[in-house]
C-alpha cells in the first residue's frame, strides 16, 4: 500500500486526497469536503463537517510541515510573529501577521536563510540554509490565517529569503495562494533585491502580482556597499526589468528604501533618488516606501529619525515621486526580517 505520510497537509493536491479516499474506501465526495475544510479559516482538527474518525485519521496521515516553536504577539494585539521548525531537518523560518481594521497581511519566508548577504539584514547576516518547498510557503499563510481573527487579505513575500532565488517553487506557491486560498493577484506582493533575469521571467507570468524592489540607494557605488548582488545587477538594469513587470502586470511598483542615518538619508540622497525615479518609465510611476531601519546585531547603522524621514519623503514628492513612510510595526516583537530567529538562536545556542 502506498504510504501517504510523505505528503504534508498543505502539500497534498486535490487528486492526492481523492486517491487517499479511494484507498480508504471513502465515498468520492469526501475529497471535495476535505479540500474545503483545509482552506477554511479554522484548522482541520476543528472541522465540523467531517466524521471524527475520518478527521483523526487525516490529521495523522497528512502531517503539518511546520512545527510551531514560538508565537509572540505585539503589544497592540495587531501583529503576531511565528518561528517554525520546517520539515524533517527542522529549518527555522518566520512568518508575520500584521492586521489593521481593513486588512490582514501575512508576510512569508521563501527560503530558510538567504545567500544574498545584504549587510543591514538579519537574514543575510545568518546566511543560507535551504530552499523552502511550495507546501512550506502555503502552510505559512494557512497557519497565520488560523491565528487571525480577520480573513487574510494580503500576502507579501518579505520574510526570510530572496523569493526570486527560489523561483519555480515560489511561483507555484503564488499560484496556490491565489487559487486555493482565493487571494487576488494584486494583493500578493513579491519583494526582490533585484535578480534581473528572474524579474524578466516574472513579467511573462499570467498572474499580475504586485512587485516591490529593495533599492535602498540611488547610485551603484553606495548600493554595492549594502547589497553585494548589485555588482552583478546594477540599478539601471533593475529599473529596466521593474518597468517590464509594471507594464506587463499593469501595477505600480514599490521601491523599498531603508533609511540609515548618515548613510543614505541625506538631502542629496533624497534629491538623487527623486531624480532617478522621477524619470523612471514604469507604468503608474514609482512609489517609494521609506522603511525605518530595524536594528540588527551585526550592523551598526542607525535608523533615521521620524522628522528626518518626513523631510526625505518631502524631497521625493517635490521631485514628482510618491512616497510613504512605513510605520515600524512589530518592533517590540522583532518583526523585521530574520530577527526573531536570530534572537532565539542567540538565546538557545545549538
Ligand atoms: N529578499 C527580499 C525580500 C525579503 S527582505 C528583498 O530583499 O527584497 C524584505 C524587506 O526588508 C526588504 O526590502 C529588505 O531590504 C528589508 N530589510 C532587511 N533588513 C532590514 C532592516 N534591518 N531594517 C529594515 N528593513 C530591512
Ligand atoms: Fe536576503 Fe532580502 Fe535580507 Fe538581502 S534583504 S539578505 S536579499 S532577505
Whichever domain contains 71, its CATH number is 3.20.20.70
Residues with CB under 6 A from ligand 2: 114, 116-118, 121, 123-124, 161-162, 193, 214, 337
Nearest residue to 71 via CA among 80, 62, 58, 59 = 80
pTM score over 0.85: yes
Has residue 322 been placed in a domain? yes
Distance 29 CA to ligand 1 centre (A): 44
Instruction: Using the atom order of ligand 1, give the atom closest to the CA of residue 216.
Output: 15
Asked if 293 and 265 count as a contact pair (C-beta separation under 8 A), the reply is no
108 CB less than 6 Å from ligand 1?
no
Are 33 and 112 found together in one domain? no
- Positions annotated as catalytic residues are 94, 337
Ligand 1: residue whose CA is nearest its atom 4 = 158
User: Is the alpha carbon torsion for 188, 192, 194, 196 positive or negative?
Assistant: negative
Angstrom distances, CA of residue 258 to CA of 184, 226, 237:
28, 11, 20
Ligand 2: residue whose CA is nearest its atom 2 = 162
**pLDDT for 12-57, tens place per residue?**
999 999 999 999 999 999 999 999 999 988 899 999 999 999 999 9
To the nearest 5 percent, what fractions of the chain are helix, strand and coil?
A: 40, 20, 40
Are 229 and 322 found together in one domain? yes
Distance 194 CA to ligand 1 centre (A): 12
The structural domain count of the chain equals: 2
pLDDT of residue 349: 34
Are 52 and 91 found together in one domain? no
Instruction: Using the atom order of ligand 2, give the atom closest to the CA of residue 160.
Output: 8
Instruction: Please give the residue range of the domain that contains residue 88.
Output: 66-346
Is pLDDT of 72 > 80? yes
Is pLDDT of 333 > 90? no
Packing angle of the helix pair 14-23, 29-38 (nearest 10 deg): 130
Amino acid at each position: 500500500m502506498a504510504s501517504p505520510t510523505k505528503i504534508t497537509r498543505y502539500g497534498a493536491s486535490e487528486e492526492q486526497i481523492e486517491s487517499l479516499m479511494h484507498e480508504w474506501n471513502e465515498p468520492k465526495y469526501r475529497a471535495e469536503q476535505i479540500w474545503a475544510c483545509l482552506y477554511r479559516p479554522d484548522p482541520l482538527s476543528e472541522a465540523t463537517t467531517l466524521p471524527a474518525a475520518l478527521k483523526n485519521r487525516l490529521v495523522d496521515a497528512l502531517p503539518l510541515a511546520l512545527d510551531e516553536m514560538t508565537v509572540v504577539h505585539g503589544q497592540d494585539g495587531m501583529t503576531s510573529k511565528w518561528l517554525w521548525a520546517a520539515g524533517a531537518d527542522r529549518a527555522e523560518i518566520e512568518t508575520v501577521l500584521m492586521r489593521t481594521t481593513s486588512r490582514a497581511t501575512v508576510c512569508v519566508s521563501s527560503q530558510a536563510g538567504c545567500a544574498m548577504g545584504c549587510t543591514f539584514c538579519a537574514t543575510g547576516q545568518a546566511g543560507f540554509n535551504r530552499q523552502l518547498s511550495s507546501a512550506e510557503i502555503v502552510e505559512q499563510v494557512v497557519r497565520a490565517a488560523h491565528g487571525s481573527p480577520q480573513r487574510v487579505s494580503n500576502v507579501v513575500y518579505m520574510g526570510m529569503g530572496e523569493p526570486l532565488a527560489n523561483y519555480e517553487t515560489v511561483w507555484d506557491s503564488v499560484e496556490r495562494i491565489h487559487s486555493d486560498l482565493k487571494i487576488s493577484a494584486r494583493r500578493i506582493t513579491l519583494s526582490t533585491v533585484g535578480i534581473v533575469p528572474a524579474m524578466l521571467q516574472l513579467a511573462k507570468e499570467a498572474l499580475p502580482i504586485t512587485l516591490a524592489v529593495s533599492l535602498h540607494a540611488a547610485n551603484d557605488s553606495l548600493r554595492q556597499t549594502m547589497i553585494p548582488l548589485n555588482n552583478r545587477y546594477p540599478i539601471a538594469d533593475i529599473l529596466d526589468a521593474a518597468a517590464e513587470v509594471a507594464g506587463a502586470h499593469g501595477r505600480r511598483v514599490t521601491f523599498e528604501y531603508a533609511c540609515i542615518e548618515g548613510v543614505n538619508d541625506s538631502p542629496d540622497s533624497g534629491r538623487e533618488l527623486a531624480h532617478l525615479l522621477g524619470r523612471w518609465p514604469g507604468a503608474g510611476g514609482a512609489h517609494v516606501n521609506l522603511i525605518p531601519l530595524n536594528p540588527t546585531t551585526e550592523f551598526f547603522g542607525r535608523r533615521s529619525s521620524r522628522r528626518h524621514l518626513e523631510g526625505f519623503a518631502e524631497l521625493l514628492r517635490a521631485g514628482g515621486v510618491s512616497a510613504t513612510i512605513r510605520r515600524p510595526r512589530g518592533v517590540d516583537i522583532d518583526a523585521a526580517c530574520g530577527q526573531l530567529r536570530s534572537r532565539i538562536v542567540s538565546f538557545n545556542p545549538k
